[in-house]
């Protein structure tokens, strides 16, 4: 990997993780790790261009159908692809199909850019996701194999102890906080060959006293009512939180940091 490379363009492909939930800005939009990464890259490369095709809730088949071809046609220097995790969280998941679709995506994207970036997505500690970990780890094995075959970089967020800490996850327990997204941007930045700005992004965060029993139970009830039950309802009815939403940044245009 070249040290401190200069890239002229970035295209991000994926779901809510790449869209930036839950790194919420004052205007109600989401920033996220991909925007943060683009800002860093743009600071090194005048005229830097950026597109973010991600839409929350997308399955890997939808990402292949709706985003991969568009991203490949843009001819960007760097393409990031994060997908398949939503599939593993569905009641029924065909891992062979997920593998085939990811293979299609990588085979299409890798030749169309200078560097394809894949990720082992972070996993929050806790019982809700524990039941899905075998599927997640099977997904990561597929990603590792594809990266080896096609020269992609794999950013191992799953192995980062900091990103497993519940304090870096939003109240919905599915999306990272702003600090979590900042750490992901740092991880990708380093994986692309840049000098570390935060060498300890993956280190565990300092221990703080745990909340009391009543606070934990109140938080659990709120989580179940506001997030878990609606999430289960969408899974059972085949709906998605991203239905009808456009890509976050559909065109490969010069980057401008408009965040407050």
Q: pLDDT tens digit string along 138-179?
A: 999 999 999 999 999 999 999 999 999 999 998 887 899 999
Residue 252 has pLDDT above 60, yes or no: yes
Token pair of 257 as six digits: 């940091």
pLDDT at res. 75: 96
pLDDT at res. 118: 98
Measured at the alpha carbon of residue 34, what is the angle toward residues 31 and 39, in degrees to the nearest 5?
85
pLDDT at res. 161: 92
Residue 210 has pLDDT above 70, yes or no: no
Average pLDDT over residues 179-202: 97
Average pLDDT, the chain: 89
Average pLDDT over residues 93-107: 97
φ/ψ of 160, rounded to 5, equals: -85, 120
Average pLDDT over residues 171-191: 94
Contact (CB, 8 A) for 30 and 179: no
Contact (CB, 8 A) for 258 and 63: no
Q: What is the SS3 string spanning 111-174?
A: HHCCEEEEEECCCCCCHHHHCCHHHHHHHHHHHHHHHHHHCCEEEECCCCHHHHCHHHECCCCC
Q: pLDDT tens digit string along 220-229?
A: 556 556 655 5
Q: pLDDT tens digit string along 28-86?
A: 899 999 999 999 999 999 999 999 999 999 999 999 999 999 999 999 999 999 999 99
pLDDT at res. 2: 64
Residue 215 has pLDDT above 70, yes or no: no
């Amino acid at each position: 990997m070249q040290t401190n490379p200069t890239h002229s363009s970035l295209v991000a492909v994926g779901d809510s993780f790449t869209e930036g939930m839950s790194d919420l800005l004052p205007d109600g939009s989401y920033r996220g790790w991909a925007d943060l990464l683009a800002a860093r890259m743009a600071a090194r490369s005048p005229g830097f261009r950026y597109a973010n095709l991600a839409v929350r809730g997308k399955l890997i088949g939808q990402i292949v159908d709706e985003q991969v071809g568009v991203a490949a046609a843009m001819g960007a220097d760097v393409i990031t692809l994060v997908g398949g995790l939503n599939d593993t969280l569905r009641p029924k998941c065909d891992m062979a199909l997920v593998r085939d679709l990811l293979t299609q995506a990588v085979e299409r994207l890798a030749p169309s850019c200078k560097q394809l970036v894949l990720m082992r997505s972070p996993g929050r500690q806790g019982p809700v996701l524990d039941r899905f970990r075998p599927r997640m780890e099977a997904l990561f094995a597929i990603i590792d194999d594809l990266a080896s075959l096609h020269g992609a970089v794999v950013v191992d967020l799953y192995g980062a102890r900091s990103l497993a800490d519940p304090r870096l996850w939003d109240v919905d327990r599915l999306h990272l906080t702003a600090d979590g997204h900042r750490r992901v941007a740092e991880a990708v930045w380093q994986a692309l060959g840049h000098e570390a700005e935060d060498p300890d992004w993956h280190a565990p965060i300092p221990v703080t006293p745990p909340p009391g029993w009543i606070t934990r139970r109140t938080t659990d009830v709120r989580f179940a009512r506001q997030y878990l039950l609606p999430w289960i309802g969408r899974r059972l009815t085949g709906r998605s939180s991203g239905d009808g939403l456009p890509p976050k940044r559909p065109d490969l245009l010069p980057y401008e940091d408009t965040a407050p």
